[in-house]
Structures are given as structure tokens and as C-alpha cells.
Structure 1
Amino acid sequence: MELLVIPVFVLDQQRRVLIWNRACERLTGVAASEVIGTSDHWRCFYNRPRATLADLVLQGRTEEIRQLYDSARPRPQQREGLCAENWCDMPRVGRRCYLAADASPIYDKEGRIVAVVETMRDMTNEKKAQIALEQLATRDGLTGLANRRCFDDTLRAEWQRALRQQQPLSLLMVDVDNFKQYNDTHGHLGGDQCLQKVAAALASEMRANDLVARYGGEEFAVILPNQALKGAAIVAERVRSRIERLQLPNVGSAQPYVTVSIGAATALAAAGEEPQQLVATADAALYRAKRLGRNRISLPLQEPARGTAGRELDATAQ
């Protein structure tokens, strides 16, 4: 085990370190002499006390694995063994690592566990590459917001959640007014910077569980889970006002600064209904707001009946 290129450590029945091989020293930055005979091996991986995979196997706490690790599964063809992956703090080396670990018990003739061998593999580069690919698949490259694909997936998921929990679901469709004229005046680079500033202002007004997405071009969409009509109206007006306060000059426009029009819809999800109806209703409200002069919001007249988004009411900006 000392000569293996794979980081390995072994715990005895009392969770004391029996073996801490050279590859483990290189991975953790901790010499074997510091941990052999102790139960402080967790300090090599975490800033706070926390069980390693080997500890869980030794103590029979395998049911806790899904609470402590990003991904976990029984070890193939290994009785009571475990495989898991997670981020580790690695205090001694001063950087976080994503480690894949395998913990395999060793039994005596009576079937009692006498030791557990844990092997590790540093998958930090692979994990970072995976995260980058996921971001490319779900994030808009210009604004950093969720992209259309992520919006569609999230809306379907939130619709099902609203259906199960019998909670309202609101949607805002936000469009930058006279953006083509702004783009023609300031050029594509100026237009990109405008969209980035609008996106940042939008995101800053949202709760942690809301989703802001670039729907397409100069249009944005906001999913507001468990948000009824009154809350959606407050958020919409807050967004409209905040973007106006950015005071991005819009030369030649009816409005001196960049503004947005917002359409809103609220639905009580019902079996057999589709979330696309919520999008269509919010979109119709958006275009009605633009027809009536822009820089305003269009909201439902009343709380919607189950499975509908309600009638619209124009709310002109003060």
C-alpha cells in the first residue's frame, strides 16, 4: 500500500489510522507521522469535524452517506462497501479538491469488521470541466443569466411543484423598450453592455429561489415560485423602477433613458393544464403594455381561477 500511486488510508476498529501511504501524503499535504495512531484524519480533508467514508462504514452509519456526499452508491460486488464523491476543503494544501472515494471493509473469520480501506482519486479537473460544460448548456453567454433551455426546464419543474403543493406560480416577461433604436445608436457593443446592466438589475431584485432568464434578444423572463398576484405586482414595479433609475441614455427615444415593459401572469396549476399557457398569457400582457406606451406593467385584474392566468389590467408607471 505504501508504494501504490493511489492515495490510501486504513482505519482500525477504533477508527485509528493504521496506514497513510505516500500518495495520501502528497494529496493531503499531511505526513503519515502526524496521523498514524490518531482519529484526527478528518482534519486532513475538512475544516470542521466530519465523518469520512471509512468512518461511516466502520460505525454502520451508511444511511447518512446521501446527506454528506454529492453522489453515493453501494460498492459493486463489495459487501457493505461504499463509493462516493464530494468537495473537500483540504486545509493543509490550501485548495478545495473534488475527491472520488471507495471504502472497503476487511472482515475476520467471524465476519466482524476489523479495518476499512479507503482509496481516493482526485477528480477536481474533471469536476470543474463538467461544471463549465453545464454552465455552457444552461447559461446565457452574454448576461450570465439562465438561458432559454434552462428556463423551459425550470418552468416545467416549478409547474409540477406548484401542482403538488397547490401553490400559485407567477411569471414576468420583461422587454427592453426601443432596444433596436438603442442598438443602432450605440452599436452592438453598446447594446450588449445595456443588456448586461439590465440583466444585473433584474437579478438583484430576486429571491434565491426565483429564476431570471434571457428569453431571447432583449427579452427576459422571471419565474416566481409560490408568488401570488400581489407579490408579482410588487416585484414587477420594483424591476421597472430600478431599471429606469439606471439612467442609461436612450437618445432619440420618447423616453430619455432605457426603460422596460413588463407583462405578468399568475396561475394555480391544475392537472391537464400546461405551463405554456402561463407564458402565452404573460407574453400577451407584455405586448399590451408596449402598445399602451411602454415603461409600464400589465398585471392580472384578479387572482386567477385554477389552471388560468386571469384577465389583464394595465398598471402605468407613476
Structure 2
Amino acid sequence: MSIVGPSVIALTGRPPQDLSLLYIGTASYDLSESRHKQTYEFIKMGVSVKSLDVANQHVDRHELEEAVNEADIILVSGGNTLYAVDRWEHLGLSDLLRESALRGTVIAGGSAGAICWFEGGHSDSMDPKTHRSFKLNKYANKSDDSTESFHVEAGRLNSSFVAECTNFKETEANPKKMQLTRKVSLDTFMESDVDSEKEMEDESSANDWEYIRVEGLGIFPGIICPHHDCIQSNGVLRSTDFKSMMKRHPYEIGIGIDNFAALEFDGSNFRVLSIEDEVGKVPEVWIYFLDDDGTVHSKICPRAGKVADLLQMLKDPAKHLLPDKRVDVCRKKNPQLQSRI
């Protein structure tokens, strides 16, 4: 049994049959296989699921508002974080998602869907195999048999970030955030369409990419690193690269989430959830910070505690949230769909 679905539903305080979930698959370019994987478990439990597809088509403002406002849960897919957040900004969906969080809607996601709710994230958006043209071409070439097989495996969400947050003790200067009541479920699920070893060898040049800090919606402070204990196609352990990223962004708190680990916020409290792997290892959630000398430190997040002790609001985000100069290069390599607005 996944730890994600039941935790998300529990945060609503209502039975699944009474809930409406809105799935937003922009980061995975609205591909149906990702949608089936991420929503299968909720459908099985009786939740009503709708999809808002904006990656490859324009959607009018009133349609966006209707979809978001009717949702009890908003679930965001994994995939390319930079493309997704840029697309939402272009369509005006970002503000609707922020407003929904402030109303207390359960907001949820995996990998890119974990990053998007925070100020920023340790992202693989530079990986060409996460780009729109590659994903859509690959999906178009899949056989019906492979798609059907994927559906059988649907619903296996490996790890999550689940939260409900009322306010932070540093938010006195922002009355809107003082009234904040929001519930979040985020997961660090690794997409299952990783290429075979042969494909990786044949396309070794495509694996020469770097992790970048991408901006999220800014609902929560800090930089999220999903798949914290994983090595992806560039051969770099994410936790190692995350330390370097923290040096470049010294004012922000960093949170690393191992695969099969989860962090749950419930009001002013949090707890860590995890699924022990086959060799008995217990995945963790990690906290990263810099000392006065600029040295990066990391420690295992306590299994439970206060949200205000974990997350830190910046007093002057405009001054201290430092952009990653490589983001513009990434945008050019994975350009937005040209559509009317």
C-alpha cells in the first residue's frame, strides 16, 4: 500500500467518495501514461479525478478557474519543472494555484510536483530526455502493448511530501500568509520511463547535463531536492550536487527527500514517513544549511516537530533568492509551446 494516497485523503478529513482531484500533468506534457500512474490509486479508492491539460494547448481563463476552484485535491505530475512553471505563468494558472493553496486545498505532486510548490528546487530540467520534443516523440513511438503494461503498474507512488500548513512564525509582515491554511502532498517518485542501459550508452552525449535551481510557485520557502539519494543519467549523485547548489544559494534552507521517504505537515506540526526498502534501509528527509563560514551542513530531519522550526521565511526574497543563470539556456533548449494568450 502506498503511503501517498491515504495520507492525502486523510488531510482532507473527508471520505474519498466525496472528493474531487484535479491532475495537472504539464511537467510530463500531459502524457496519458503519467496520468494513469499518478491517479490510479486515487481512482481505486473512489476519488473523482479530472485532468487539466495545458502543456500542448491553450486553455481559457474561465476553464482554468473552474477546474481549480472545484478541486479538493490538486495533484501535479513529475517531469520537467521549468517547463511546467513557465507554462503556468504564461497561462495565468500560477496565481490560481497559489490562491487555491491559500484556501486550504490539498496540493500534491511528485518530483517536479514536489518542487513546484516551493521557492525553488534542485531540478533535472537540463536533461534533454525531460524535454517536450523528446518525450512526445518517444511516446508516439510506443507500442500499444507497452502502454497497456504500464497501466498494470499504475499507482505505485514511491515517496511523498504531505503537508498542511497554517502559518509560519516569520510571516508577521505578510497578513495574507498569516491566514494561510493549506494542505500539501508532494512525492519524489522517479518516473518509470527511464531508458534501458543500451539506450543510455547509445546516447551518452545526451547525458552530459547539469542540475539547476529552478523557481517554483513560492508557496513554501526553501529549495527542495527530490530523489536525494539517487544517481540519474548524468552520473551525479543528487545529494552531492545539492551541497554545491546550497553554496550558490546560501540564504535558503534546503530539504532533501530520499526515494521512499515522505515529509508530512499537519497544521503547525510535521512528521517524516518512510517505506523501508528491500535491504532494510530506512529512507530519510534531510535538512541543509550553511554556517557563518559558508560551510554546508546536512542533518537528518527529526521524525516529528514544528513546521516553523523546519522552514525559514526570507525577510527580503527579492534580494536573497539568487537566480541560476543556466535557466535561460535551458528555456532555449526546451522552448514553450507557441499559443495564443
What's the TM-score, normalizing by structure 1?
Answer: 0.25
What's the TM-score, normalizing by structure 2?
Answer: 0.23
